[in-house]
Amino acid sequence: MRHLTVSTLVILMSAAVSAEDVPVPEPYGTTKSGDAIELYTLRSSNGLVARVMTFGATLVELHVPDSAGTTADVILGFDDVAGYQSDANGYFGCTTGRVCNRIAKGQFSLNDKTYTLAINNDPNHLHGGINRSLDKVVWKARPFADKSQTGVTFSYYSPDGEEGYPGNLQIQVTYSVAADSNSVTISYLATTDQATPVNLTNHAYFNLGGAGSRSVLDHVLQLNADHYTPVDETLIPTGAIEAVEGTPLDFRTPHVIGARIESLIDTPALGYDHNYVLNKSSANAAEPAAVLTDPDSGRRLLIRTTEPGIQFYSGNFLNGSSGKGERTYPLRSALCLETQHYPDSVNQPQFPSTILKPGDEFRSTTILEFSTTR
């Protein structure tokens, strides 16, 4: 009987998600160049609330319940678009590309042509460039809702030569929240008319105790990775794939993040900032890549992805600048788990390819699944 009541309720609630629940745009400020930015709110019936905006197709807020049912916003960000255009923005929550992470010396060759990109992370190219990287452009939004989910599909047309990359690239990023879940799915689709490197990620900074909590060094992390890609002094992969076994990078079983970080502080990465090679049984399945737990609040995040790699970054450049609601973001008060192809793939023939060809589709999915430990 109780069962029947619950399922009837679920059916009623699902039926209640109709055209009127299609997320409506709210104003979120104006960019320096005068573009009006819109914010959309996606909700699940379990208390998860995600907010996304047209500037950079960015995940702005992500509220999830703790063990006691109290929600907190677990990602770093700002109160309006002006914050996202300020120097204090370390790619918070944005869509990163055309190619996330670094390309050595901002150069690559494709079909006998050499391409030169902006050097914005001396001596390398980082996260798609300077003025027109995907995190800094205004995307078109198409909100949607049906019985099972609500979401927004952002689209952007990047013309041939933008930020130095070849090909007219049509990109879509969809954020969706399943009606009766505590998860957010982020999926990407891109097509081109000339061969070009593409790999897109979301750059959310998490603190499961709530954005603005002092540290993530007490969070517990597990990564489904036996190997990583070691880097040189400019953080470019040497091309090797090495075992994590016997190093502070070994998160094959759960480890407290702060337990072994000391030995990495005097390295060029200043802490954790490493690409892990995910253990995959198949190239396309969205398999578990990482489990992050905050023992204090009991919040847990499971990340699944179709990507072959994940960058674990321990917030080594956060410096106490202020964000949402005047909270400050001190050193190592948040971390990123960026699902991706391996850095500098375009110059590393032995790494999985990131070249998208005309007629092919770039597709990639990452799922952020929240739960509690108690």
Ligand X SMILES: *[C@@H]1O[C@H](CO)[C@@H](O)[C@H](O)[C@H]1NC(C)=O
Applying CB under 6 A, the residues found at the interface with ligand X are: 87-88, 118, 130-131, 198-199, 224, 226, 252, 279, 306-307, 319-321, 341, 353-356, 362-364
Report the alpha-carbon distance of residue 350 to residue 61 in Å, rounded: 38
Report the alpha-carbon distance of residue 88 to residue 16 in Å, rounded: 41
Q: What minimum distance in Å lies between the beta carbon of 21 and ligand X?
A: 30
Cβ atoms of residues 357 and 310 within 8 Å: no
Q: What minimum distance in Å lies between the beta carbon of 291 and ligand X?
A: 11
Nearest to 103 by CA among 355, 326, 277: 355
> Which ranges of the chain does DSSP label H, i.e. alpha helix?
2-16, 81-84
* Residue environment code for 301-327, b if the CB has 16+ CB neighbours within 10 A, otherwise e: bbbbbbbbbbbbbbbbebeeeebbeee
CB closer to ligand X, 45 vs 194 = 194
CB closer to ligand X, 114 vs 282 = 282
- Is 273 among the annotated ligand-binding positions? yes
- Is 204 among the annotated ligand-binding positions? yes
Residue 246's alpha-carbon distances to 206, 225, 227, 251, 317, in angstroms, are 27, 13, 11, 11, 26
CB closer to ligand X, 49 vs 88 = 88
Q: What minimum distance in Å lies between the beta carbon of 361 and ligand X?
A: 8
Q: What minimum distance in Å lies between the beta carbon of 132 and ligand X?
A: 7
Residue 86 gets the label, from left (phi > 0), alpha (psi -120 to 50) or beta, of beta
Q: What minimum distance in Å lies between the beta carbon of 23 and ligand X?
A: 26
Residue 18's alpha-carbon distances to 13, 150, 285, 287, in angstroms, are 10, 10, 30, 31
CB closer to ligand X, 40 vs 108 = 108
Give the strand pairing for 328-329 and 58-65: unpaired
- Is 102 among the annotated ligand-binding positions? yes
Residue 213's alpha-carbon distances to 19, 218, 296, 355, 369, in angstroms, are 38, 11, 11, 39, 21
Q: What minimum distance in Å lies between the beta carbon of 369 and ligand X?
A: 18
CB closer to ligand X, 199 vs 202 = 199
Which is catalytic among the residues 203, 227, 274, 341? 203
- Is 285 among the annotated ligand-binding positions? no
* Residue environment code for 222-251, b if the CB has 16+ CB neighbours within 10 A, otherwise e: bbbbbbbbebeeebbbeeebeebeeeebbb
Task: Name the DSSP letter for residue 199.
Answer: B
Report the alpha-carbon distance of residue 128 to residue 139 in Å, rounded: 16
Q: What minimum distance in Å lies between the beta carbon of 136 and ligand X?
A: 10
Give the strand pairing for 273-278 and 336-340: unpaired
Active site residue 203: yes
- Is 203 among the annotated ligand-binding positions? yes
Nearest to 190 by CA among 260, 134, 124: 134
CB closer to ligand X, 101 vs 306 = 306
Active site residue 245: no
Which is catalytic among the residues 38, 61, 338, 341? 338
CB closer to ligand X, 22 vs 118 = 118
Which segments are annotated as binding site?
A: 101-102, 203-205, 273
Which segments are annotated as binding site for beta-D-galactose?
A: 101-102, 203-205, 273
Q: Which residue numbers are catalytic? A: 203, 338
